[in-house]
Structure 1
Amino acid sequence: MDKKKVVAPLVCHGHSRPVVDLFYSPITPDGFFLVSASKDSTPMLRNGETGDWIGTFQGHKGAVWSCCLDKHALRAASASADFSAKLWDALTGDELHSFEHKHIVRACAFSEDTHLLLTGGMEKILRIFDLNRPDAPPREIEKSPGSVRTVAWLHSDQTILGSCTDMGGVRLWDVRTGTIVRTLETKSSVTSAEVSQDGRYITTADGSTVTFWDANHFGLVKSYDMPCIVESASLEPKYGNKFIASGEDMWIHVFDFHTGAEIGCNKGHHGPVHCVRFSPGGESYASGSEDGTIRIWQTGPQNNTNQETSGSNGPIQNVKDAADEVARQIENAHIAEEDKTVSEKAQAG
């Protein structure tokens, strides 16, 4: 069982309840960022590379089921069991707006142009909010046949993809007409649906199967039976040659995209893994678990052999300051120099 050797991940503590959703921003001039949703009602923002805690978004009064960042990582959004979706300033942590719903909100997604926020949930209604006019009533799209579990945008915001909690299949809505134009059939309810970074593939996980669809023509590309019940899957974004899947058995399984063969397996969580996502450059991937932790796994050789690295806890910082690696290195150098001076004085004394 040498493939199941344990690779030491970065371990990110902070959540007090299960982590149920993860979202990476694209790479920005300040690096890339990771936002997490948890049943503890407080989404958290981290440096996507190091896992260092940046800030906590406080304001929800119920479990947060979904979270996302816009492509510039300047704003975050979250969907909650408190019947609201909230828009946040990712630099300050301030709540910018709360979009009230009539039932639990399970999913949210920023449009590619960042001007719209899409939500869905137990009401079986997809809503599109204009973020330039947040107080205006949302546009409502044709009702979903079931409670909405996941949502995503496709084709430069012309198509919406959604899956349901209580039935199989992924439905595609034409945004212009507001109608369902296609259904991608799956064996069971889809718990994870991801559009690849290059826009070529849709990756779905439906418990027993991970399936890849052509995101432009909607044909079936690959479908693989899983060795365990999986809840989430993610395709490596840079080369597209492997994917990860995870679920009930607490392992993160790594598979070859072309053959479906399992090529790696990592374990570290102490509960079922609810979500996995590749970082935008593909050099690492994150997993969120029932155990309340996020773990960041390197896909290549690790320079750092520490068993665990947890983020700091402190007041919300400015994201740009937190991401300024040069300043951090200079600061660390100064601290090291001070520590050395103090040590030398103590020895002299």
Structure 2
Amino acid sequence: MEKKRVAVPLVCHGHSRPVVDLYYSPVTPDGFFLISASKDSTPMLRNGETGDWVGTFDGHKGAVWSCCLDTNALRAASGSADFTAKIWDALTGSELHSFEHKHIVRACAFSEDTNFLLTGGVEKVLRIYDLNRPDAPPREVDKSPGSIRTVAWLHSDQTILSSCTDLGGVRLWDVRTGNIERTLETKLPVTSAEVSQDGRYITTADGFSVKFWDANHFGLVKSYDMPCTVESASLEPKYGVKFVAGGEDMWIRVFDFHTGEEIACNKGHHGPVHCVRFSPGGETYASGSEDGTIRIWQTGSLTHEDNNEAMTTNGSIGKVKVSAEEVSRKIEGFHIADEANAIEKENLGDA
């Protein structure tokens, strides 16, 4: 019987309370970046490859439930229990704009063209802010049947996806009309909804199942029962042969996309897993937990068959290398990232 190799993740300390959302930027000329949201009110930016702390966005006065980066990783956004969504300069850490809401903001997402920010939350209202005119009133779509948990853009910003905290299903909205065009039915509330990098699939986690939907024709492609209640799932972006899921049992499981067979089970977190996300190249995936840590796991090498298929389809496989100098250039002037704060955050994470 073959002995399974134990995966040893990179452990990223710094948050003093649970990590509830993670988001990877696409690959930029400076590499790729990882932003995390936590109940400690301070979103953090990291080098996506090494997990090294870059800086902390300081300004929220309540738990931060959602975070994201724009396409070029030049701006960050966050949604908070302090009734605001904020836009940040990801190079300097400074706050660019704060959008006031009337209740908790649970979700936020930059449009693909980076001109708009979408928010949703307890108010049951989707808001679209024009970032070229941040002082202008947002467009509001107030027909959500429940408190909004997740949001995303798809179809080149022509469609909006949302799920609710207390109702099953994923709703797909026509941006032009503001109407729900279709609902992807699930029995339990969808706690995680991700549009694949190639725009082909919508990956959802709803209680004891992970589902994959055709993002263009909206049919259910695959549905797999999970061994525990899962809160988040993510599809490997480059080849689409694996997916990861994490939830209440504190483990991160890797599955075969085509068969649903469990490939690996990674143990290390000391609390339920709230979010899992693949890096843009698929070499690693990150998990955020109730224990306040982020762990970055190696995907593991592709099988010979997968490798041949991927080579045929995509050409040579390359890994993005990010030098310390490149990262330093990107974060130069990040005004709150001094060494003493970094050490203090590390200590808080260990507590």
TM-score (norm 1): 0.86
The Cα offsets for residues 271-312 of structure 1, whole Å up to 9 and x where unpaired, read as 0000000000000000000000000001126xxxxxxxxxxx
Residue equivalent to 1:86: 86
The Cα offsets for residues 40-76 of structure 1, whole Å up to 9 and x where unpaired, read as 0000000000000000000000000000000000000
Contact 1:54/1:322, CA 8 A, preserved across alignment = no
Residue equivalent to 1:72: 72
Q: How big is the shift at 1:249?
A: 0.6
Are 2:139 and 1:135 aligned? Answer: no
Q: How big is the shift at 1:151?
A: 0.1
Residue equivalent to 1:221: 221
Residue equivalent to 2:106: 106
Are 2:277 and 1:241 aligned? Answer: no
Instruction: Give, as a single letter, the amino acid of the residue that structure 2 aligns with 1:215.
Output: A
CA distance in 2, matches of 1:324, 1:239: 28
Residue equivalent to 1:151: 151
SS state at 1:34 partner: strand
Residue equivalent to 1:324: 326
Q: How big is the shift at 1:141?
A: 1.5
Instruction: Give, as a single letter, the amino acid of the residue that structure 1 aligns with 2:35.
Output: V
The Cα offsets for residues 161-194 of structure 1, whole Å up to 9 and x where unpaired, read as 0000000000000000000010000120000000
1:1-349 alignment runs, 5 A limit:
5-300=5-300, 324=326
The Cα offsets for residues 8-62 of structure 1, whole Å up to 9 and x where unpaired, read as 1000000000000000000001000000000000000000000000000000000
CA RMSD of aligned residues (A): 1.8
CA distance in 2, matches of 1:256, 1:176: 37
CA distance in 2, matches of 1:323, 1:236: 29
Instruction: Give, as a single letter, the amino acid of the residue that structure 2 aligns with 1:273.
Output: V
The Cα offsets for residues 93-137 of structure 1, whole Å up to 9 and x where unpaired, read as 000000000000000000000000000000000000000000100
SS state at 1:246 partner: strand
Percentage identity across paired residues of the two chains: 84
Compared CA separation, residues 215 and 323, structure 1 to 2 (3 A): farther
SS state at 1:160 partner: strand
The Cα offsets for residues 230-256 of structure 1, whole Å up to 9 and x where unpaired, read as 000000000000100010111100000
Residue equivalent to 2:345: none
Instruction: Give, as a single letter, the amino acid of the residue that structure 2 aligns with 1:68.
Output: C
Q: How big is the shift at 1:3?
A: 7.5
CA distance in 2, matches of 1:256, 1:298: 16
Instruction: Give, as a single letter, the amino acid of the residue that structure 1 aligns with 2:129.
Output: F
Larger radius of gyration: 1
For structure 1, the residue ranges without an aligned partner over 5 or more in a row are 302-319, 329-349
